[in-house]
Structure formats: C-alpha cells, structure tokens
Amino acid sequence: MMKKSSAIALSCMIGMSGVLAACSKSGSEVSTAGKEANKPVEINIMSDFYSPEPPSDQDPIRLEIEKKTNTKLNITWVSPNNYGDKTNVTLASGDLPELMLIREPFQAQIRKMADQGAFWDLTPLLKDYKNLSAFPAESWKNTSLNGKNYGIPFTRPLYGTEGMPILRKDWLDQLGMQPPKNLDEMYAVMQAFTEKDPDGNGKKDTIGLTATVNANNMGSLSWVENVLNGNYGKWKEQDDKLIDMTFEKGTKDALIWLAMAYKEGLLAADFPTLKNSQVRESITTNKVGIFTDALKPTWLLTGQMRAANPKADLLQLSSLEGPQGKFAPKGSGAFGFWVIPKSVPEAKLKQILAFMDYGATQEGSVMANFGFKGEHYNEQDGMYLFTEKAKVYTGVIFPIFQSLDKYAFAYQTGIPADFLKRNMSIIDEQAKVATGDPAIGLNSDTYNKVGIDYDKRTQDLKVKIIFGREPIEAWDTYTASFKADAQYQKIVTEFNDDYKKRQAK
C-alpha cells in the first residue's frame, strides 16, 4: 500500500498510452527506431538486485515494460555483496555496458573517468526528457560531478530513508510515557526502558538504547551529534562556507551525553562490535527498546514481533528538539547513478534516455514497483494495496526503474493501513524541518589520500571517551591539535573551495 505521489503525476499530465512519444521529446525514437529496424532496441545493462534471486528475464512485468518501450534488455544482475568489486573490475576493463549502475559516484576512479570523457555528459540533453528532468533537484545536485550530470540518479525519497531513533511504542504505552521530544526526554525514556520492566516480564533484563558504529564514524549514534549541532553530517553551511562539526560544541556535548548513558547502563555495552542484524534481533527479542534505522523497517520488525505479541509497535520519531531547533535528516535523493559510456553512439544514447524517461513516468514507475493493476495491486483511498499474488515478489519487481513516491519508505509488504498512514504522517512532519548533508559529492584531494586516517583516529577517541577510558578533556586536546595541523586544515580549505565552485554554478 502506498500513496501516489503528485510529483509523478505532474511530470506527465497526458494519458499513459503512447507515453514514450508524449512525455519525452525523443521518446518516439525508441519505437520509431525499433519499427524501422523491425526489431526492438537492444540495451545492455549492469545492475544489482536486492531480492533472494536475480529477477527473471521472463517475468511478465519486465516483458510488458520491454513491449511498452520496444526494447530488448540484456541485464547482468550482480549481488549487492559483490557489486562494488564487479563495478571496479568492469570499469578497469574498459568494456562497459551501455547502461551501468554506479552505487558510489564520487569514488576517485569515477571522477577521473568523467574528467577524461569516459561518460556522456547528460546536462545539455535533459531538457528533452521531461520526466527525468522532474526528478527532485537534490537528486541531480547530489550526483553531479563538477557541476555536470554524468549519470541519471538512482532516485530515492528525500524523507524516511535516513536514520532516526525508533522506539518500542508498546513499551512507552506500558509505562504511560509519551514519545520524547528532546534529548532530556529521550534520556528519561532510556532510563525507564532500562529500569522499569517495560516488557512486563518481572525481570530487569532490558536496555534503553542499542546501536552500530563504523570504524570511521559514529554510525547509528550520529543522531545525537546531529540533534545537538542542528545539522546532518560532518559539515554545516554557515555564512557561505562549510564549518567542520568536529570543532562544534554539540559534538563534545554528544560525547558527554553518550558517556553518561553508557556509564549508567542505558546504552548497550557491546555497541562498537554489533552488526545491524544483531541490533534488530535485540529489538525483536525484547532486549532493547530504542535503535536507529530508516522508516521502512518499522513495520518489517513490528510484523515479526506481532506473531507472538499483538501489541508490539515500533515508532520512528519525526524529529528531536536541540539547541538550534527541531532536527530531522533529509536524504540525498539518490543511491548512486546510471552512466552511459561515451562509446555508445549519440542516437543510441537518446534511445536509452527515452527508455529511462519512461521509467520516470507514473505508468512506468508504478508498473516496475507494484506490477499490474487488478492482478498485483489495487488502488484505494490514494494508496496501492498489494494482492496475495504480489507476494511472489520478495524484492523490487523491476529495479531498473525506481519508485518516485514521496512516501516510498513508509511502505513495507503487509503493512496495515493505520500503520502506513502513521508512517506517512511522520514523513510529512520530517519534511517540515529536515536538513540535508551539504557536502555530498564535494572533493578534497588531500582527504582522498589521508582523510580516512583522521576519521578512524577521531572515531577511536570518541569510543574511548564514551567507555570512560579517556576523559572528555582528551577531546579538547585532540581537536586543538587539528587546528594546528596544516594537512588537516588543507582538507577543510579544499572542501570549501569545491563548495564555492558548486555554489557558483
């Protein structure tokens, strides 16, 4: 079930019949070229997939999309576990497919190849493809390189995709508490979840908060810094430049807050070694009451728990109040991009763009994500309701075309209408206050060489302070050393220089 996005509908105001010809200036080129040659246009594609098995090339929905676009798709499906390695090998070989998904568009190899002209610069062509042009501005900006668009964004919704605290609402109800609105109230909930037997089993066997962290950043604990800094990520836009959050008061205050929570047993003691699967298991087995994730898993995990506990309920907070106001994160609007190598002739390039433009129509997007109306889904009250038959699809039906629905991350298979509507309202609330990462896609040559070492050292000290193995004064000494570190300051300068270049475009 999902509410239809008006943004999709507005991108194509005409009827869906003949959509390639009507919604894209060059849309007719796919069908015309196919008829002239008396065969479909063949497109070689490389993509990952997130279903247990690769999508079938005989799937009726894929076959219908090929019919609609008069194409024959030769798709190499690669597991996401190996996609990064396969991407690097393919790029190094020089033998690129005609349409290739790049999940990390800002890696050095992609930047270098773009600068050398290995990919088509799509920037001057996009005006001819109304539906692609209707993608959110953030999606295009946050996949651009040096102000140019060398790829079609693999779009994602702006809201609900990033991590915010998710709480066991049934535990809140059991204790007569309301969802926290700020960090003081959050701390009180963490204490209650640890001390007051929220699962009602008569034992003191629960913990307030769990998380995962990475070797070079705070991972799913980053929200504490973000709330206290009023910013999403390491860099903040201020007075027409980027400010490094490492030196901000909120970052230090976050360490003090987390160190206190750890000392009082409110934070899982083994958080630095946990994997996301372990975090989720600790939630569904009633060991912990708060974790951080995207909005989508709230029903996935709630549904699992309700088999044994009909009252189980996971609620993501729409925002948290910090010193600078309400905070919620805004996503980048993209999860990589699709590149077309310059070896593809211009006429074929336009055919590929027309194919992707169809995927950005309401008809193409809905078919790829929901299937056939009346067979795989029905519409009711502005939402898509999956049928029983749709359950054969355990992943995205046709992952070449993305869902453009604002509420895409509110949905999960089998979600009840009331749960979905609550998730949609959370997205609406987040959209009012959300802030994005202003440094996405910016480049620093110095950071590319040594930045990860700084990040790992920083994260190592943060964990030691949280554990109480280093005093908070060690943070002051450490950050002061950065201010005197010429190499670190060069990173700050280079990011700001690139930021100014992007702002000037």
**pLDDT tens-digit profile of 186-210?**
999 999 999 999 999 999 999 999 9
Whether the pLDDT of residue 24 is over 50: the answer is no
For residue 231, is it within any domain? yes
Indicate if 338 and 404 belong to the same structural domain. yes
For residue 1, is it within any domain? no
Confidence class of residue 394 from pLDDT cuts 50, 70 and 90?
low
The boundaries of the domain holding residue 338 are: 6-159+333-410
Name the DSSP class of 286.
T
Residue 425: which CATH number? Answer: 3.40.190.10
For residue 200, is it within any domain? yes
Indicate if 345 and 367 belong to the same structural domain. yes
Distance CA 442, CA 419 (A): 38
For residue 224, is it within any domain? yes
Task: Return the closest-CA partner of residue 463 out of 215, 163, 190.
Answer: 215
Confidence class of residue 315 from pLDDT cuts 50, 70 and 90?
very high
Q: At how many degrees (to 10) do helices 249-263 and 473-483 cross?
A: 150
Confidence class of residue 36 from pLDDT cuts 50, 70 and 90?
low
Indicate if 77 and 138 belong to the same structural domain. yes
Residue 406 sits at the vertex; the CA angle it makes with 292 and 369, to the nearest 5 degrees, is: 95
Confidence class of residue 33 from pLDDT cuts 50, 70 and 90?
very low
Indicate if 229 and 368 belong to the same structural domain. no
Domain-ending residue, one of 410, 444, 477 = 410
pLDDT at residue 497 in the model: 94
For residue 250, is it within any domain? yes
Whether the pLDDT of residue 16 is over 90: the answer is no
Indicate if 184 and 129 belong to the same structural domain. no
Contact 264, 379 (CB under 8 A): no
3-state secondary structure 387-443: CHHHHHCCCCCCCCCCCCCCCHHHCCCCCCHHHHHHHHHHHHHHHHHCECCCCCCCC
Torsion of CA 281, 286, 287, 290, to 10 degrees: 80
Whether the pLDDT of residue 22 is over 50: the answer is no
Indicate if 184 and 298 belong to the same structural domain. yes
Distance CA 379, CA 374 (A): 9
Strands, E assignment, 139-274:
151-155, 164-168, 207-209, 235-238, 241-244
b/e map 120-135, b = 16+ CB within 10 Å: bebeebbebbbbbebb
pLDDT at residue 413 in the model: 75
Pairing of strands 41-48, 71-78: parallel
Residue 158 sits at the vertex; the CA angle it makes with 107 and 279, to the nearest 5 degrees, is: 75
pLDDT at residue 244 in the model: 97
Distance CA 73, CA 355 (A): 10
Q: How many domains does the chain have?
A: 2
Indicate if 396 and 433 belong to the same structural domain. no
pLDDT (mean) for 240-246: 96
Please, which residues have CB within 8 angstroms of residue 359's CB and are 6 or more apart in sequence?
365, 368, 400, 401, 402
Domain-ending residue, one of 374, 389, 410 = 410
Indicate if 375 and 447 belong to the same structural domain. no
Indicate if 240 and 255 belong to the same structural domain. yes
Indicate if 149 and 264 belong to the same structural domain. no
Indicate if 375 and 247 belong to the same structural domain. no
Whether the pLDDT of residue 121 is over 80: the answer is yes
pLDDT (mean) for 115-134: 97
Indicate if 351 and 466 belong to the same structural domain. no
For residue 263, is it within any domain? yes
For residue 73, is it within any domain? yes
Q: What is the pTM of this model?
A: 0.85
